Structure 1
Amino acid sequence: MRSPQNVAHWSEPMRSVPAKVLAFSREHSLFTPGDTVIVAVSGGPDSVALLDILISLSDLRLNLVVAHLNHSLRGAESDEDERFVADLAASRSLPFVNEKIDVRAASAREHFSLEDAGRRARYEFFDRVMERYGARSVALAHHADDQAETLLLRLLRGAGVTGLSAMSPCRDGRFVRPLLTLSRSEIEGYLHARGLRFRIDSSNADTAFLRNRIRHELIPHLARFNPEISRRLSVTADLLAADAEVLETLASEALRRTVRERTDDSVILGVAELLHEPRGVRYRLYRGAVSLIKGSLLGLSYKHVLQIDDLVRSRKPNLGIRVPGGVAVVRSYGLLTIGRGVEEAEWEGDIIIEGPGCYALPDGGEMVVDVGSPPEDLATLPPDRACFDLDCAPFPWVVRGFRPGDRIRPLGMTGTRKVKNIFIDEKVPMERRRLVPLVFSNGDLVWVCGYRTGYSARVTEKTVRTVLAEVRTSAGTALK
């Protein structure tokens, strides 16, 4: 624990720092007067300064709740941090809520790094505290130097404009960072001027963590080239964040232009429309579509975005890939489908049709078969209905899915055609082909449902008995 000296010439930070934070908060609409705000306090210098500054902003009339998560990483030292924060909250007559978690055990159990496991545990804790107190936001103590470190960290790991824009003043409308406008030195000056005590986390000096190596080794090295490197990097992150906002707006507008169909499980985009968009907009558009389906972009890398773009730009009409999170991306002619369960489906087993009746199909639809008089004009039958000479197409029928090598002699044509080529001509999506019912009688293919009827079972002037068949989809819509 440290208790800095109260030096008279540091009285200026006592006035300027809160004013700077207030202006920044108003600029980014971080608070509304009367808000209940959870203040994340570890006991370190930054969070102690954050709590003190928020208390001083009396015009905002904030209802503050002090929250502390004990990570159990430093034994007795972690417990002392917890007691320190509890005493700090009590000295300010503020509500205090705390939890204790074994982050090391969580890291091993979930196969996350210690840093990632700790971050996940903190945000889950914040969610619980927000719900308990009905809070509007959680205030975090990240400052401009943290911003610089985060930019360098993401640069080393690889990131685009959004990643390099680092931390935003307000994330998800719930997590606010009022101190992003302050440097570490400004915070230290404020702490000294106010005579505030705080705790020092010994793990912050452990260079086994990449962030600590950036803080203690890389930034001091870069400061030899520019003493204001942290401030410059923070400004760069802010500029990139502004650019990211513009790009996100463009990508959202492009997504609306390119969407052909949207369901809970999939987004269908027009390939031609996608190709009219600039490359950078397309990349963001793909990410936005994936996020709509899986709810996050966790695991989606630049490599996956390039793979999706390759599908869009390919001359091959039917291609598909899978990306992290159980999301399939399928290019089928002029459409790109991003969703769950859009991969190529399979028809399991054969359906035997013994006679008139209603028979369930694998995709949730049904086939209705009835013996009766033919319609007056066979040419007017819609694609989902067909009429056959029952003597030429006797029961039992076998209904199954497409298999390589299937052929039919289509009505009105000489010779046979591969069913595969019919699908290609009709631009049937790859993921639908194996669910198109094929009707066989006496081993002869008499109907590719929705696309072609067979010559051998045609109705002629000599026909005595006719049979009508209709395919109804699960939604009650036509096949094509």
Structure 2
Amino acid sequence: MKALSPVDAALKKVRAFIAENGMFRPGDRVVVAVSGGADSVALLDILTALKELRLELVVAHLNHELRGAESDEDERFAGQCAQAYALPFVSRGEQVKAMAERERLSLEDAGRRARYAFFDDVAAAWGARTVALAHHADDQAETLLMRLVRGAGGPGLSAMRPVRAGGNYVRPLLVLDRQEIEAYLDERGLAFRQDRTNTDVAFLRNRIRHELVPYLDRLNPGAASRLARTAELLADDEALLGRLVEEASARHVNVTEQGGAICAVDALRREPRGLRRRLYRKAIALAKGDLARIGFDHVDAIDRLVLSENPSGRLHLPEETLVTRSYDEITFVRRTTDIPPLQDLRIGGPGCWPLSGGGELVVEIATDPPPWGELPATESWFDLEQAPFPWLVRGWRPGDRMTPLGMAGEKKVKDIFIDAKVPRELRQSVPLVFSGDSLLWICGCRRGEPARITAGSRAMVVARIRGRRLK
């Protein structure tokens, strides 16, 4: 059988790869990222050659403004490529170096963020469902190695997926290696731009490309293709594990009204460590929005916090992400500020009294109280003859004590908070109701013995807390 030409072989492999991964639907509008380099030129030519897909292509180029006139020439070349295929062309300049300095990022990371933001904007403006990127199998191998030396786990070592989660970014050339792409370009007679920064070994990816991969290839010829295959196998495993994590997340991770996450400590402890670690990452992503700058040490610290015999603790993660253990719960939130202490409030009589920080205390004249065991924690009844107005409502102070209902002796309020598992950060915001020097009620926790309702009580009031978190 006659061997296929480099062009026919590449088209056959890419056509099958696109179908296998469901990258496009016939007639899709697709943004094609074209830098002007060999890979993106090949991608654009291949997508135009696959006529059966009937794709509406839009060529997009981001000028990183790192190489002066050379960067401008890359932009002009990309525009000429679009013109050659009679396709729309969109470009934008971005001062990536200034962005890296401003946001304290590496040039590589800043460039990547700038590109994705630009492609998202172009896709939105043109109503495109998909953005096609020109990463190939050698890029995949380099990405795996780069993440491996940085200490990535399974998700990172899966490297780049053919279709990114959400389906808006696709990589049709992952099935081809650099040699196949160069042979394709040579047979088609297509010109492309050479970016001199691709040889600068100051960048980690370039050191891996020009130093580590050739060394590995000497140890085992074809190492890059085997590494790319390893990434593919790991990606399949990650997809399976991802389903297990989603099932466990439905059981253990609850989203809070503030956009964070909360988990039960005992339930987490019963899961295998590998699943626990993935659940922590899931919870961090819910609170923070992504997993940028979250490393092994952060996840390991969370696991130690969950397994600790100490019932409380706090971890500060990057980008103002806070993880707090409070007894049998662990919460993940971002940009959390400590809840301010409750401001003093004097209650002159029945009425609706707003509390600082939200919520209100409602006091009403009442008769015939229900049995104490049937009262909600947010409600209490008092004998007015034993607890005359005015009352004082304030937050907890060290040294506060009360005589709990049904007891003869006093107990520290701090100990009552501990028994009731009130998180430390909430304690100073829990309303304490005083009549004179007598502590009548720790709202939501314990009622006091002073001013309890008895058979001889003649004047009574009921107090209720509304719209305020107490635990």
8 Å CA contact 1:147, 1:167 repeated in 2: yes
State the partner residue of 2:160: 167
State the partner residue of 1:127: 120
Could you say if the C-alpha distance between residues 235 and 372 of structure 1 is closer, same or farther in structure 2, counting changes exceeding 3 Å? closer
State the partner residue of 2:423: 429
State the partner residue of 1:73: 66
State the partner residue of 2:6: 13
State the partner residue of 1:3: none
**How big is each residue's C-alpha offset from its partner over 1:53-107, in whole Å with a ceiling of 9 and x where there is no partner?**
1111111111111111222222222222222222222122122222222222322
SS at match of 1:386: strand
More displaced stretch, 277-286 vs 311-320: 311-320
8 Å CA contact 1:260, 1:270 repeated in 2: no
State the partner residue of 1:37: 30
8 Å CA contact 2:34, 2:41 repeated in 1: yes
Q: TM-score, normalised by structure 2?
A: 0.93
State the alpha-carbon separation in 1 of the partners of residues 96 and 107 from structure 2: 7
**How big is each residue's C-alpha offset from its partner over 1:19-76, in whole Å with a ceiling of 9 and x where there is no partner?**
0011111111111111111111111111111111111111111111111122222222
Return the match for 1:312 from 295, 306, 312. Answer: 306
**How big is each residue's C-alpha offset from its partner over 1:191-224, in whole Å with a ceiling of 9 and x where there is no partner?**
1111111111111111111111111111111111
Are 1:354 and 2:348 counterparts?
A: yes
State the partner residue of 1:231: 225
SS at match of 2:450: helix
State the partner residue of 2:261: 267
State the partner residue of 2:408: 414
State the partner residue of 2:85: 92
More displaced stretch, 286-295 vs 453-462: 453-462
State the alpha-carbon separation in 1 of the partners of residues 267 and 322 from structure 2: 20
State the alpha-carbon separation in 2 of the partners of residues 153 and 378 from structure 1: 64
Return the match for 2:465 from 451, 468, 471. Answer: 471
CA-CA distance at 1:139 after TM superposition: 0.9
**How big is each residue's C-alpha offset from its partner over 1:268-323, in whole Å with a ceiling of 9 and x where there is no partner?**
22222211211111111111122122221122222221122122111222222232
Aligned length: 469
State the one-letter code of the partner of 2:103: E
State the alpha-carbon separation in 2 of the partners of residues 160 and 341 from structure 1: 27
State the one-letter code of the partner of 2:279: L
Could you say if the C-alpha distance between residues 442 and 197 of structure 1 is closer, same or farther in structure 2, counting changes exceeding 3 Å? same
Could you say if the C-alpha distance between residues 107 and 330 of structure 1 is closer, same or farther in structure 2, counting changes exceeding 3 Å? closer
State the alpha-carbon separation in 1 of the partners of residues 366 and 275 from structure 2: 57
CA-CA distance at 1:356 after TM superposition: 2.0
CA-CA distance at 1:137 after TM superposition: 0.9
State the one-letter code of the partner of 1:238: E
Could you say if the C-alpha distance between residues 341 and 87 of structure 1 is closer, same or farther in structure 2, counting changes exceeding 3 Å? closer
SS at match of 1:359: strand
8 Å CA contact 2:154, 2:238 repeated in 1: yes
State the partner residue of 2:440: 446
8 Å CA contact 1:267, 1:289 repeated in 2: yes
Question: Counterparts in 2 of 1:321-470, with a 5 A limit?
Answer: 321-340=315-334, 345-373=339-367, 375=369, 380-460=374-454, 463-470=457-464
CA-CA distance at 1:393 after TM superposition: 1.6
State the one-letter code of the partner of 1:54: L
**How big is each residue's C-alpha offset from its partner over 1:213-257, in whole Å with a ceiling of 9 and x where there is no partner?**
111111111111011111111111111111111111111110111
Could you say if the C-alpha distance between residues 278 and 343 of structure 1 is closer, same or farther in structure 2, counting changes exceeding 3 Å? farther
State the alpha-carbon separation in 1 of the partners of residues 124 and 81 from structure 2: 23
State the partner residue of 1:4: none
SS at match of 1:339: strand
SS at match of 1:391: coil
SS at match of 2:429: coil
CA-CA distance at 1:363 after TM superposition: 4.4
State the partner residue of 1:46: 39
8 Å CA contact 2:343, 2:356 repeated in 1: no
CA-CA distance at 1:357 after TM superposition: 1.7
State the alpha-carbon separation in 2 of the partners of residues 15 and 301 from structure 1: 44
Q: TM-score, normalised by structure 1?
A: 0.92
RMSD of Structure 2 on Structure 1 (CA): 2.2
State the one-letter code of the partner of 2:172: P
Return the match for 1:64 from 57, 61, 67. Answer: 57
State the alpha-carbon separation in 2 of the partners of residues 462 and 132 from structure 1: 76
8 Å CA contact 1:14, 1:190 repeated in 2: yes
Return the match for 2:105 from 92, 104, 112. Answer: 112
State the alpha-carbon separation in 2 of the partners of residues 336 and 241 from structure 1: 30
Percent of residue pairs bearing the same amino acid type: 55
Could you say if the C-alpha distance between residues 340 and 91 of structure 1 is closer, same or farther in structure 2, counting changes exceeding 3 Å? closer
CA-CA distance at 1:114 after TM superposition: 1.8
8 Å CA contact 2:342, 2:431 repeated in 1: no
Could you say if the C-alpha distance between residues 188 and 381 of structure 1 is closer, same or farther in structure 2, counting changes exceeding 3 Å? closer
State the one-letter code of the partner of 2:133: L
More displaced stretch, 292-301 vs 101-110: 101-110
**How big is each residue's C-alpha offset from its partner over 1:161-193, in whole Å with a ceiling of 9 and x where there is no partner?**
111111111113111111111111111111111
State the alpha-carbon separation in 1 of the partners of residues 276 and 370 from structure 2: 51
**How big is each residue's C-alpha offset from its partner over 1:395-432, in whole Å with a ceiling of 9 and x where there is no partner?**
22111122222211122112111122222323333343
State the alpha-carbon separation in 2 of the partners of residues 469 and 125 from structure 1: 57
More displaced stretch, 375-384 vs 17-26: 375-384
State the alpha-carbon separation in 2 of the partners of residues 175 and 107 from structure 1: 24
Could you say if the C-alpha distance between residues 461 and 72 of structure 1 is closer, same or farther in structure 2, counting changes exceeding 3 Å? closer
